Amino acid sequence: MKRAKPFQWQSPDDRRKKRKWFLLSGSFGVILLLLIGYFFILPYRPIPSKGGPSEPVGPPSKEVQPREPEYQIIEGTIKEKSAFSKSLAERNIPQSWIERIVSTLKPFIDFKKLKGGHFRFIADEKGELVRFIFEAGPTEVYEIEKGSQGYIARRKEVPLETYLVKVEGVIRSSLFEAMEAIGEKEQLVISFAEILAAEVDFYKDVREGDRFQMVMEKVYKEKEFIRYGPIHAVEYRRGEKVIQGIHFQGDFYDEKGLALKKAFLRSPLRFTRISSRFSKARKHPILGGVFPHYGIDYAAPSGTPVWAVADGTVVSCGWGGGFGKQVILRHPNGYMTYYGHLSGYGQGVRKGVRVKQKQIIGYVGSTGLSTGPHLDYRMAKDGRFRNPLKESFPSGFPIEKGKMEAFQKRKDEMLAWFQGAMSDRKGLESSNREGEGGG
């Protein structure tokens, strides 16, 4: 076995090759260590930009936003009977823009009949009109904006919501007071009274404790009440006596299908107060002494329309002595009605002309022997005067037999509302209005 020699002579070429190999190996190792340290050990540092030391990279800077346009806004109110143009001028709106606004809105608004409103004038920094809004009422809103062909006006769409609701109350002193107590308006009182005018005399038959209810439509703009809609059903209850009216195909019928509308109305005027009741002995306010008073005096403002209580023919239209201007009508079944102290006559009313129920035949006045504006209303049958408030008239016409099934279904629906089986409020289809024009 040979032992290796501790030292062995090497040629110069071998030594050069070994040095070269060591240098390459060392360089490669250094580079590898630098790469490992750069990517895996050292924290991330951004590449420095030219011309300065490196800084940590922050969030990108926000772009500069264009400046918001500034608007001039002028608001004001146009009072009733005030001139539209004058009201705008008082708020320092330039006359040139006032003229443009008026001309643009002219197709929509009759400025002579304007009853006030609110406006908003919006202009840019140069004073150029951007938008003009005029609210003549809650549902009557107009807007002017500049379009490609100049300024355009339109009636804005106003979303309205219609609800079917139940209204009910109790009589304490009068129907007017009872309606007012539950937040309803006079218009509803009159409509309710007219529907039941042939069944209930709201001048003398109203008693404390009487109850009423109706199913009707109400129209709202958001939470703001706008107006009443059609009445679908009514009920008036006194003790055990119940009177109902169901709206069906244009008329109101009782629970048996008989029309509430009868040949005669109880009153020749809309529901109002009575100044003097029927009496056979009344001291005359002008002549003195006691004279029979065969009529009913309806106190009402001068000019209040007077209508015929039933279909008939004009027997007389002219001066009636102490009754002043008077109209006398002849009706079927021997009835005559008299309307005195009128201030004037209805259009086309003259002797021999036929008139319809509720047709205007004259206007309340104070002609003849009268102490103030009122209507003297009288009724006679077969030549004898009768008390109009106590007279009984034939029932209304019944529903056609072929329509009774549909009416019964309608009646059951309304009775469910009265009996509380339905919600007191039901949303119906909404309605909107708008239009457009240029200027």
The reported pLDDT for the residue numbered 429 is 63
Dmax over CA atoms of the chain, in Å, equals: 176
What pLDDT, on a 0 to 100 scale, did the predictor assign at position 286?
37
Domain boundaries for CATH 2.70.70.10 within the chain: 274-386
Name the 3-class secondary structure at 121.
strand
Query: Is 161 within 8 Å of 149 (Cβ atoms)?
Result: no
Tell which phi-psi region holds residue 384, choosing left (phi > 0), alpha (psi between -120 and 50) or beta.
beta
Q: Are 235 and 420 in contact (CB under 8 A)?
A: no
What's the pLDDT score for residue 92?
A: 93
Residue extent(s) of CATH 3.10.450.350 domains in the chain:
72-155, 161-262+415-427
Local structure of residue 398 (DSSP, 8 states): B
CA distance 143 to 435: 10
Q: Which of 364, 319, 324, 331 is nearest to 346 (CA)?
A: 364
Contact 398, 351 (CB under 8 A): no
What was the pLDDT predicted at 227?
94
Of the candidates 152, 161, 192, 165, the one whose C-alpha atom is nearest the C-alpha of residue 176 is 192
CA distance 72 to 130: 9
Alpha helices (H) in 175-264, listed in sequence order: 175-181, 186-195
Q: 0.75 cut: is pTM over it?
A: no
CB 157 within 8 A of CB 432: yes
The reported pLDDT for the residue numbered 277 is 40
pLDDT of residue 81: 78
- Between 3.30.930.10, 1.10.287.3510, 3.40.920.10, 2.70.70.10, what CATH number should domain 274-386 receive? 2.70.70.10
**Of residues 168, 171, 172, 137, the one with CA closest to residue 155:** 137
Q: Distance between CA 240 and CA 223 in Å, rounded? A: 38
Classify strands 360-364 and 312-319 as parallel, antiparallel or unpaired. unpaired
Q: 72-155: which CATH number, 3.10.450.350, 3.30.420.10, 2.50.20.10, 3.30.70.980?
A: 3.10.450.350
For the chain, list residues with pLDDT below 50: 1-2, 4, 7, 47, 49-52, 54, 273-292, 433-436
Handedness of CA 369, 308, 200, 185 (dihedral sign): negative
Residue with tokens 């027997």: 315
pLDDT for position 358: 86
pLDDT of residue 199: 84
Strand-pair partners of 312: 355
CATH 3.10.450.350 fits 161-262+415-427, yes or no: yes
